[in-house]
Amino acid sequence: MKISVPYFSQYLDVADLNIAPRACGFAVLKMLLHFYQKDSPDIAALFKKAVAEGGYNQNGLAHDYSVALLKSYGLKASRVEGLPQNDFSLISADLENGRPVIVSVEKKVLEQKRFHQVLLVGQEERAGVWGFWYHEPESLSKEEGVGPYRFVSQETFSLFWRGMAILAEEDSLKQ
């Protein structure tokens, strides 16, 4: 099952080459806001706002800032951390209910680990392997399977997932 979520690339949708390499979390937030039909500024403007407000520093985009930003757009949002690497029940429940989930993963770049965010947009068994569909904001292509709608097995996902998720949904009290 795949959730129909608009795709944004931190490289293709950000003209400022100083911001683009650091904009994965903002591209993911933009995808989520568009999914919930929230009118939001472009990715570079979200980045600049976060820097000005202390939501982005040398460690990257603060998870609490992301939650606060989503709430400012009328969404009910929360962050969970310390989830076991092989317990996908929380994120699977949101996906089953048609809600994309922001997750933090580790990437290796030039022999260094760095943190990265992607948006989970579905889950299913594919060729006998259970896994997740995700939007990779770091892509230079908007072709399905390259940037949007990549598939990763749960086994591989668990190796790189940091046990963190940001959950969001429409706030029924604000509708």
Q: Domains of the chain: which residue ranges?
A: 20-170
Per-residue pLDDT tens over the stretch 93-142: 999 999 999 999 987 666 667 789 999 999 999 999 999 999 999 999 99
Closest CA relative to residue 79, chosen from 23, 154, 113, 29: 29
Alpha helices (H) in the chain, listed in sequence order: 24-35, 43-52, 63-72, 89-96, 154-160
Task: From the options 3.40.50.300, 3.90.70.10, 3.30.70.360, 1.10.150.120, give the CATH code of 20-170.
Answer: 3.90.70.10
pLDDT at residue 175, as a whole number: 52
> Angle, nearest 10°, between helix axes 43-52 and 24-35?
120
pTM recorded for the entire structure: 0.94
Dihedral angle sign, alpha carbons of residues 59, 5, 142, 150: positive
Two tokens at 175?
């509708």
